[in-house]
Structure 1
Amino acid sequence: MVHTASLVENEPLLSPALLGQLERMELISRKIFRGRMKGERRSKRKGQSVEFADFRNYVAGDDLRFIDWNLYARLDKLLLKLFLEEEDLHFYSLIDVSDSMQFGNPSKLHYAKQLAASLGYIGLCRSDRVKIEALDGATSSGAPVFRGKRSMARMCDYVQSLQSTAANVTLTDAVKSFCLRNRGKGILVLISDLMDKTGYEQALKFLVAQNMDVYVIHVLSQEEIDPEILGDLKLVDCEDGDIAEISVSQRLIDKYRATLATFIEQARDFCSKRGIVYTMTSTERSVDRLVSRYLRHQGLVK
């Protein structure tokens, strides 16, 4: 693989036009999680915010301040007022920074950064707790937590600074390291090309065990989806240096496409059986279209 760069990668991760679209969206969880701080979303749990939800019968020990005395005067019943509680959501985005993610124009890594920043900004607009982390196997919990729209610039600078690592860390080991260091519940989005010789299955099993709302965004470059190469070639694996000399014919290209289609279908089936929402995308698909159309259809945003 040859690492390529693009002028697009020198531009800001989030353009003003994209920011305008993202501000109108909201991250949605399929599960109910208890937030650590008050946020700007309505929980299905009953709490003590200012928005009225329902009544229930008074039980000994309940706070007398929430009894509706007007109803008691009319019905001679002690009824407690319930309110919808506002809570924050934990949003995690894990970016695969292995060498294979540097392939393409723009690179898959740049696409992953833009996507993670876009989803993170949606969370910031709703005062969610946003944490974006590179899957480099680091044992520290150095990735910062961002909260509030004022954190947007710091978040983008941090995401832009993420680079591939020279360490030969497997996807499984990197995800396991993350799971051991992070116990918060919420939405987790893994952005990866899933290209790991040891496989991706065990890594996804670790994420499922965290009891989070897990999404996998499978990113491939258009060159990988529809290669236009023929003739005698020497292929060098960008991650471990393995070399293979091949003669590329149309027949071999057809076999490659069939193998890739099987790989994608197996990943989709593996995720579906474990309650993970899977989405495959090409780097040619704009991030705003992926978020506003495809991820909205998948239920991650609204």
Structure 2
Amino acid sequence: MPGPDTIQNDELFDAEFLDRLRALFLRLRKRKQLRRKGIQNTPSTGFTREFKDFRHYTPRDDYRAIDWRLYARLDRLFIRLYEEIQEFHVHIIVDTSASMIEPFPEKRSTSLKIAVALAYMGLVGHHRVSLYSASEKVDDPPPPLKGQGSLQRVIDFASGLEYGGLTDLETCFQEFNPNRRRYGIIFVISDLYGRDVDEAREAIRHASAWPGEVHFIQVYHPWEEKPDVEGEIELLDVETQEHRRLWFTPRDRKRYEERYKLFLTDIEQACQSRQIDYQRWRTDYPFDEMFLELLSRGSALSSGNS
């Protein structure tokens, strides 16, 4: 039975959401057909061959491609045609620290939807997909998944994640070691809250050493950006349980909003300086448009196989 900090499969990932994923995939495939291939031609990418069709043998064809079993049945020569599939390893890291669920559970639901949507795109693109949870450290993932039939396992994994504890971004990213044998596409989904901005910068520095293409998706709630509060308040750090009582004036609120904006800007600039893709994702933003934007900025995942 799921614990209090887990969710039921159909709470987020109902039939409507899955239909939207399929529609998003079709929209991305259409966009792909309208532009030339880009980053997908990386030399470090692995390839696999997938059977596509048969056609009649001609003298100019390689005789090694002849299907002799078919010849034995039909007494005619056919060759097997294959499609070359570029295969990436998609790594999806979901922040499961306490700040991702308290006091705004919308951050959890948004981050899990992003994770499942990214995994879906990886699976239908014939890539390997690994999912990780991270708070004080990055937990060991289940074995990599492949094929559209693995989507339910992705949903089960996301639904079963338990939230709580501290965030240790620097340790998480320093210890994370994705597979170097296959070109990686790495997505980090987090509010990027730590002890201070310097911790986030150090974490980003470690992430820049990961092999492959790295994306940071910073999820936050509108209230965190512009708190609608005034007067005497009590603050609680949901990760350390530290309390602080203070008087919050309109001037304090303005200063807070300026500092929060600066925090977001600092994170973005730190990512840009390390050639890491960065996207802010507020929980009230329209999911479909934000997701298309995420994969339309040059990600190899958006130009995957179809």
Return the TM-score normalized by structure 2. 0.74
Cα distance in 2 between the residues matched to 1:140 and 1:17: 30
CA RMSD of aligned residues (A): 3.3
Cα distance in 1 between the residues matched to 2:248 and 2:148: 50
Match of 1:38 in 2: 48
Find out whether 1:94 has 2:104 as its counterpart.
no
Q: CA deviation at 1:85?
A: 4.5
Cα distance in 2 between the residues matched to 1:35 and 1:295: 21
Match of 1:11 in 2: 12
SS of 2:176's equivalent in the other structure is: helix
Distance 1:33 1:98, change over 3 A: farther
Q: Which runs of 5+ in 2 are unaligned?
A: 54-61, 64-81
Match of 1:173 in 2: 171
Cα distance in 2 between the residues matched to 1:225 and 1:154: 34
Instruction: Write 1 or 2 for the structure with the bigger share of helix.
Output: 2
Q: CA deviation at 1:270?
A: 0.8
Distance 1:115 1:39, change over 3 A: farther
**Percent identity for Structure 1 against Structure 2:** 22
Q: CA deviation at 1:236?
A: 1.1
Cα distance in 2 between the residues matched to 1:185 and 1:137: 26
Q: Which runs of 5+ in 1 are unaligned?
A: 41-48, 51-64, 67-82
Cα distance in 2 between the residues matched to 1:288 and 1:239: 31
Deviates more, 1:128-137 or 1:8-17: 8-17
Distance 1:85 1:10, change over 3 A: closer
Cα distance in 2 between the residues matched to 1:9 and 1:244: 38
> What is the CA deviation profile of residues 107-149 of structure 1, one whole-angstrom value per residue up to 9, with x for unaligned ones?
3122111101001101111111111110145576343311111
Cα distance in 2 between the residues matched to 1:39 and 1:213: 23
Match of 2:207 in 1: 207
Alignment of 1:13-162 (within 5 A): 15-24=17-26, 25=28, 30=39, 32=42, 34-36=44-46, 38=48, 85-103=84-102, 105-137=104-136, 141-162=140-161
Q: Which amino acid aligns with 1:17?
A: D
Deviates more, 1:132-141 or 1:112-121: 132-141
> What is the CA deviation profile of residues 235-271 of structure 1, one whole-angstrom value per residue up to 9, with x for unaligned ones?
1111112222111111111101100111111111111
> What is the CA deviation profile of residues 142-177 of structure 1, one whole-angstrom value per residue up to 9, with x for unaligned ones?
4331111111111111111112244x4511112223
SS of 1:275's equivalent in the other structure is: coil
Cα distance in 2 between the residues matched to 1:104 and 1:241: 13
Match of 1:250 in 2: 250
Distance 1:235 1:136, change over 3 A: closer
Distance 1:223 1:298, change over 3 A: same
SS of 2:142's equivalent in the other structure is: coil
Deviates more, 1:259-268 or 1:203-212: 203-212
Match of 2:236 in 1: 236
